[in-house]
Amino acid sequence: MSARPKPAADLPLDAPELFFNRELSLLEFNDRVLEQARDTDVPLLERLKFLCISSTNLDEFFEVRVAGLKQKAELVNAPTDADNRTPSDALRVIGTRAHALVEKQYATLNDELIPALEDEGIRFLRRSEWKPEQRAWLAEYFEEELLPVISPLGLDPAHPFPRILNKSLNFIVSLDGTDGFGRKIEHAVVQAPRALPRVIQLPPEATGSGPHDFVFLSSIIHEHVGDLFPSMGTSGCYQFRVTRNSDLFVDEEEVDDLLRAVEGELPSRRYGDCVRLEVAHNCPQALSDYLLARFILGREDLYQVNGPVNVNRLMALLDTIDRPDLKYPVYTPRLAAELGPSGDLFAEIRAADVLLHHPFDSFLPVIDFVRRAAADPKVLAIKQTLYRTGPESAVVDALVDAARAGKEVTVVVELRARFDEADNIELANRLQAAGAHVVYGVVGYKTHAKMTLIVRRETDGLHNYVHLGTGNYHPKTARLYTDYGLFSCDADLGNDVHEMFLQLTSLGKVSSLARILDAPFRLHPAIIQMIGREAEHAAAGRPAAIVAKMNALVEPQVIRALYAAAQAGVEIDLIVRGVCCLRPGVPGVSETIRVRSIVGRFLEHTRVFHFANGDDPVLYLASADWMDRNFFRRVETCFPVTRAALYDRVRQELDLYLHDNSQAWLLGADGAYQRATPADDEPRLAAQKRLMEGPGTS
């Protein structure tokens, strides 16, 4: 990841050499995702899925991270991160790494996945392979499905180069001869209809094809592009796709209504500044240069690809192809043993805290928690934060029912959850129409906390029931992401959540919280303090260790605190799924720090922080990663696990991840990740697989 010289032991802890570049680390993570597509132990169609995920990830990387760096390079071009790279220098190194990653993606598709799929009877037919029956059916498809909705555009002064939608499929066409008006037109642009699928399945009964024969929409357009320009000849047709800056700009200090402001900005995302151009590998340089000039991009922004420019659209095949033998076995999450015997969810939570680990534990109790509250006459109020929930959400349905039943329902909807803004606007409007109180958090701070508060009148007074989670209230992602969720009726925890909701709605200052470490106020200093406390324990000869699991580790002060703790002798194990800017294994600095990343069937999303603390260990779960934005620009929760049985369970599960030798990647001091492999006398251990097997197998 870094070509910089190896750090020396006598470096100050803020030396740039001790920090990896954030963007390059993110590309390294995407490479680990791509490796899943190359892993022959992964079912074949799942390998295709991982390829699509790596393509989608790279799209978002350009839309957000590269776009942001380009803006910085134009404005100031001064170092802004701990690694001390200027934006222009970072862009140069990123370009080299991203080009290599794209080449690897298409090599994986062309040299590994397509041949393996063909061996299983799943074929992508090239035009040269079309049989007469197939050719006839595809010609009819073009006439009936494509031709009525396609709009070829010859380029001349009256037909300027069109606005190209972000990540849309397009073609640049070279023309010969003259048009119907006797004019010589050199180029045309054909935009693929957005409503049509990008991969077309050939019907066996009409074409004599196999049950899983497919043709790319781009191939159909290539074959019939001449029909779009009947009086002219076509000497070339090449697909291209442009990626644009997709960050929304909303001046939160100036707007009166955040919902209307975000809603108004959404259309502009489709036409932001261009950051990348993808073209077919055989596109002539002159045409590529012509497109680059149109999009105001340089040669370094050009990506020539040998295959479809929109690889991620192959994801649709997973629902089309009915081959269970080529997919992961169906997995049904288990129902937590603590829930269900009495049928009284509130009584079970009041008896003892309940911890769920999704997707190994079902998400249904979380939905049931809100549903029962909506129908329970003893429940007076429901308050919930919503960051990502999906357009069709059982949780939102329950909140709507509760509001219509006359309960006090307050929902904090984060409108600026990137790429989910439209869905969140829709659900906010729906909740308001039902009579719920809907607010949009605090201007300037994203509400990223995941919490639900239910106020219930019981015989001995009012009680607060809470659910706190590391992930979103999204039933679909709860089957794909690993996350913890805690149910509790603890009075201190309930009061803390109540205080946080008061802050989000009334904007008043929260009084001191008893259990929760909240961002942007207490979380960062508390983490620094707890890391420093471990160093003090180590210096005094007491037990001192840190195990922290998160999605990203970026914030420089926390990294420096970890270095200082390591120098004091603290053993530190970090399980960081994605970006990690800390450099482990540097002599005299981070020798006792080990970093691993787990990439498997499920997206690791839990945030767990464990501190040995002498003989009084503490364990926290959180909605926050150790990043600047989570500490300082978001509303977050970090909450303790105090029930002994639950503490023991989380520690055992952390140990599984620390001993994973099948899906773990180990970060070296040079920035390279090496896949963990079992020793000759060591059995294979995949943490996710073991957790799927259930309790008692850890």
- Residue 474 catalytic? no
- Which among 680, 643, 54 is positioned nearest to 315, based on CA atoms? 54
- The C-alpha atoms of residue 162 and residue 194 are separated, in whole angstroms, by 15
DSSP state of 61: I
* Dihedral angle of Cα 531, 590, 676, 62, to the nearest 10 degrees: 80
- Residue showing tokens 């060591």: 682
DSSP 85-133: --HHHHHHHHHHHHHHHHHHHHHIIIIIIHHHHHHTTEEE--GGG--HH
Structure tokens at 324: 């269970």
Beta-sheet pairing, 545-550 with 408-413: unpaired
Which amino acid appears at position 88 of this protein?
S
Residue 26, phi-psi category: left (phi > 0), alpha (psi -120 to 50), beta (remainder): alpha
Which amino acid appears at position 234 of this protein?
T
- The C-alpha atoms of residue 408 and residue 216 are separated, in whole angstroms, by 52
- The C-alpha atoms of residue 283 and residue 218 are separated, in whole angstroms, by 14
DSSP 578-597: S-B-B----TTTTTTEEEEE
- Residue 606, helix vs strand vs coil: coil
Which amino acid appears at position 579 of this protein?
V
- Which among 283, 311, 277 is positioned nearest to 110, based on CA atoms? 311
Structure tokens at 28: 């390294």
Beta-sheet pairing, 593-598 with 571-576: parallel
Burial of 569 (0-12, 13-18, 19+ CB in 10 A): middle
As beta bridge partners, residue 283 has none
Contacts of 191 (CB under 8 A, 6+ apart): 150, 151, 153, 162, 164, 165, 168, 169, 170, 171
- The C-alpha atoms of residue 472 and residue 260 are separated, in whole angstroms, by 24
- The C-alpha atoms of residue 404 and residue 322 are separated, in whole angstroms, by 42
DSSP 625-651: -BSHHHHHSEEEEEEE--SHHHHHHHH
- The C-alpha atoms of residue 87 and residue 95 are separated, in whole angstroms, by 12
Q: Where are the alpha helices (DSSP H) in 157-228?
A: 204-207, 217-224
Residue 444, phi-psi category: left (phi > 0), alpha (psi -120 to 50), beta (remainder): left
Please pick, among 448, 524, 605, 610, the residue that the annotation labels catalytic: 448
Helices (H) and strands (E) in the chain, counts: 21, 27
What amino acid positions are annotated as catalytic residues? Answer: 448
